[in-house]
């Protein structure tokens, strides 16, 4: 098949869960013989010359879609120019796409265009982006409109959680296809780089990894950890996502506790070492789609603590501990209990990697996604 993917920032990258998912899907589809083109958004610091990183993307064709480099407009303009480019390709029988796959609610606002031209259109909803606090009134409205357009015009809508299936059924009367993200088997690494850079050793720290945005619950995590009696550190790995002021606020909040360490974005060996050697992984999010970082933590055999939102508890099942979303006191209590109970943490670790391997396989995710493209659901 000839397939186009629109909606991510860029691949290859770990800018967010959408980028990880698009990278994994596109590379595996190309390896199966499909002709896959991804439209990287041409925002500042992310622009890549057409085809320049094809080798890194394992046979995936990369095109750039120009975008206005302004918060709230990059996704809108990037998905619009990408859609025009894809439609232009579809004017020629030799380059016509069999399916255009949009990722996320904002880019999905353009899904009606290929639909009008009779091109099979699939949308993956990675989360209810309009609920994110970083967006203003117009951006939230536009994201909600993208969700509505997906529900009305997409040939198929893919969701990453059962809770999202229920949401679309109840809100729009729209049936969706549940296909969770996958995860690769992880290699457990000794603490070499992270010891040299930050003095972190095996089991000496709790880990949060993700974008530094309000809905991740980082403020509650910092407040909770400050009252935990432990000599372990709290490592917060990640960077801002149009939220530089919030990032600065979180650093200020943690400034009087030298146990709290901000590392910035982590990739490659550093990322693997952080997961491999943490005492436990904590994701106190108030809003998620399907958190890639939580899947990665499971694949590394981490003990996981999450908020009780369905998107997290579906992933961990019976192998994690959850607390009521936004309840700082409950989070503090859970963290204190686990810091004091090494046996409980060891028991959690013994089960997590097996669950990740059993439940979340990228090859199966790709197989089912291609079946959606083909209409063989």
- Domain spans of the chain, in order of start: 2-182+361-374, 193-359
Q: What is the pLDDT of residues 217-236, one digit of tens each?
A: 999 999 999 999 999 999 99
Q: Which two tokens stand for residue 250?
A: 């979180």
For 210: left if phi > 0, alpha if psi spans -120 to 50, otherwise beta; the answer is left
Alpha carbons 224 and 328: distance in angstroms, whole number: 6
2-182+361-374 shares its CATH topology with 193-359: yes
Angle CA 302–271–58, to nearest 5: 115
Counting as low any pLDDT under 70, the low residues of the chain are 43-57, 71-72, 133
**What pLDDT is stored for residue 54 in this prediction?**
43
Alpha carbons 247 and 240: distance in angstroms, whole number: 6
Alpha carbons 186 and 293: distance in angstroms, whole number: 12
pTM above 0.95, yes or no: no
**What pLDDT is stored for residue 140 in this prediction?**
87
**What pLDDT is stored for residue 120 in this prediction?**
97
Alpha carbons 39 and 61: distance in angstroms, whole number: 9
**What pLDDT is stored for residue 224 in this prediction?**
97
**What pLDDT is stored for residue 292 in this prediction?**
86
The residue assigned the tokens 């550093």 is 270
Across the strands, what pairs with 280? 206
Alpha carbons 51 and 34: distance in angstroms, whole number: 17
Q: Which two tokens stand for residue 74?
A: 């990059």
Angle CA 329–213–366, to nearest 5: 105
CB-based contacts of 70, cutoff 8 Å, min separation 6: none
Please state, as a whole number, how many other Cβ atoms lie within 10 Å of the Cβ of residue 359: 16
Beta strands in the chain (DSSP E): 2-6, 35-42, 61-66, 99-103, 120-125, 156-159, 177-178, 205-209, 233-237, 260-264, 280-283, 304-307, 321-323
Q: Which two tokens stand for residue 235?
A: 């490592």
Tell the CATH superfamily of the 2-182+361-374 domain. Glycogen Phosphorylase B; (3.40.50.2000)
SS3 313: helix
Alpha carbons 299 and 295: distance in angstroms, whole number: 6
Determine how β-strand 156-159 pairs with β-strand 120-125: parallel
Compute, in degrees rounded to 10, the torsion defined by CA atoms 137, 139, 142, 148: -80
**What pLDDT is stored for residue 75 in this prediction?**
81
**What pLDDT is stored for residue 57 in this prediction?**
64
Q: Which CATH number, 3.40.920.10, 3.40.50.2000, 3.90.550.10, 3.40.50.620, labels domain 193-359?
A: 3.40.50.2000
């Amino acid at each position: 098949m000839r397939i186009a993917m629109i909606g991510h920032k860029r691949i290859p990258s770990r800018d967010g869960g959408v980028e990880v998912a698009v990278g994994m899907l596109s590379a595996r589809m190309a390896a199966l013989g499909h002709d896959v083109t991804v439209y990287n958004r041409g925002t500042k610091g992310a622009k890549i010359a057409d085809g320049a990183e094809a080798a890194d993307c394992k046979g995936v064709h990369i095109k750039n879609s120009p975008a206005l480099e302004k918060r709230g407009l990059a996704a809108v303009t990037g998905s619009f120019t990408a859609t025009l480019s894809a439609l232009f390709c579809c004017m020629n029988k030799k380059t016509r796409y069999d399916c255009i796959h949009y990722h996320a609610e904002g880019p999905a606002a353009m899904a009606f265009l290929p639909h009008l031209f009779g091109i099979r259109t699939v949308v993956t909803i990675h989360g209810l982006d309009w609920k994110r606090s970083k967006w203003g009134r117009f951006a939230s409205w536009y994201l909600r409109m993208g969700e509505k357009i997906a529900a009305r015009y997409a040939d198929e809508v893919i969701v990453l959680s059962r809770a999202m299936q229920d949401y679309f059924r109840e809100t729009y009367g729209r049936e969706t296809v549940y296909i969770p993200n996958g995860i690769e088997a992880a290699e457990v690494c000794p603490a070499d780089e992270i010891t040299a850079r930050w003095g972190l050793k095996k089991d000496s720290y709790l880990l949060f990894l993700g974008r530094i945005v309000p809905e991740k619950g980082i403020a509650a995590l910092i407040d909770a950890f400050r009252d935990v009696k432990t000599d372990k550190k709290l490592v917060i790995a990640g960077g801002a996502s149009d939220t530089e002021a919030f990032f600065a606020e979180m650093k200020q909040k943690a400034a009087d506790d030298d146990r709290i360490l901000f590392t910035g974005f982590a990739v490659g060996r550093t990322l693997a070492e952080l997961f491999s050697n943490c005492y436990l992984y904590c994701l106190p999010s108030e809003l998620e789609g399907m958190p890639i970082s939580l899947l990665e933590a499971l694949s590394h055999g981490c003990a996981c603590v999450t908020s009780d939102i369905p998107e997290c508890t579906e992933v961990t099942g019976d192998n994690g501990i959850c607390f009521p979303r936004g309840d700082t006191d409950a989070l503090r209590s859970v963290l204190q209990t686990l810091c004091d109970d090494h046996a409980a943490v060891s028991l959690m670790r013994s089960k997590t990697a097996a669950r990740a391997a059993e439940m979340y396989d990228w090859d199966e995710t790709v197989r089912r996604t291609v079946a959606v493209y083909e209409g063989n659901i």
